Amino acid sequence: YSSPEALNSLGAQTKMQHEVLDIDFKNKKIHIKTSLTHDENGKIILGDRTKTYAGDRFLDLNTDAEAILKEATLESTNNEYDLLFWDTSRNNFMSVQASNSAFKRFCQKNNIAKQDEETQYVLRHSYATRKIESGTPAEVLKDLLGHKDIEVTLNTYFDAFSEYKNKYNEKSFQYNILS
């Protein structure tokens, strides 16, 4: 289950280190409905919702991501919040740093990419770029990523959308010449 495609399926649609996944294996859905945040003292806490209301979303669970999550559930430890990703050494929520370190170890173990450059945020950008390259409309990508405003999606992935636009403009031009 170590292919880049499987990782894209799992981590990239979410900001795994911040969002809490409600996994429904039967219906092959992931519901993102809460996220980790910080209290007034900077301590990581479980929020009562996602960062924005657009962040509350359902994602399809494909076969590769399902396999990774099932394996993770077997390896996970019990905790008071029933979270899959938990810092057992501190018996607390997993910090962004700890989450990215675990992700880098996963990449290293499975010979994926350059481990020193991989973070879950890079994975998210890779996922978005692949979706753009495959022709996913910006509005759909906005919903998949949980962006509140389409401008966030367009501005964040401006280069990928520009390249996509140029590619399809050329394709359209060639089509018109041949017609």
Rounded to 5 degrees, what are φ and ψ at 56? Answer: -75, 110
Strands 86-87 and 92-93: antiparallel
Q: Rounded mean pLDDT of 60-79?
A: 83
pTM score, whole prediction = 0.67
Confidence at residue 151, expressed as pLDDT on a 0 to 100 scale? 94
Band of pLDDT at residue 14, cut at 50, 70 and 90? very low
Cα–Cα separations (whole angstroms), residue 156 to 58, 76, 105, 122, 151: 22, 33, 27, 12, 8
Q: Where does the pLDDT of residue 5 fall: very low under 50, low under 70, confident under 90, or very high at 90 and above?
A: very low
Q: Name, in order, each residue with C-beta under 8 angstroms of 59's C-beta and a sequence gap of 6 or more.
A: 13, 14, 29, 30, 32, 144
- Residue 13: band (very low, low, confident or very high) from pLDDT cuts 50, 70, 90: very low
pLDDT grade for 152, boundaries at 50, 70 and 90: very high
Average pLDDT over every residue of 144-160: 91
Name the band, by pLDDT with cuts 50, 70 and 90, for residue 4: very low
More confident residue, 117 or 163: 163
> What is the mean predicted confidence (pLDDT) over 132-146?
90
Residue recorded with tokens 């991501």:
65
Q: Is residue 43 scored above 50 in pLDDT? A: yes
Q: What is the structure's pLDDT at 114?
A: 64
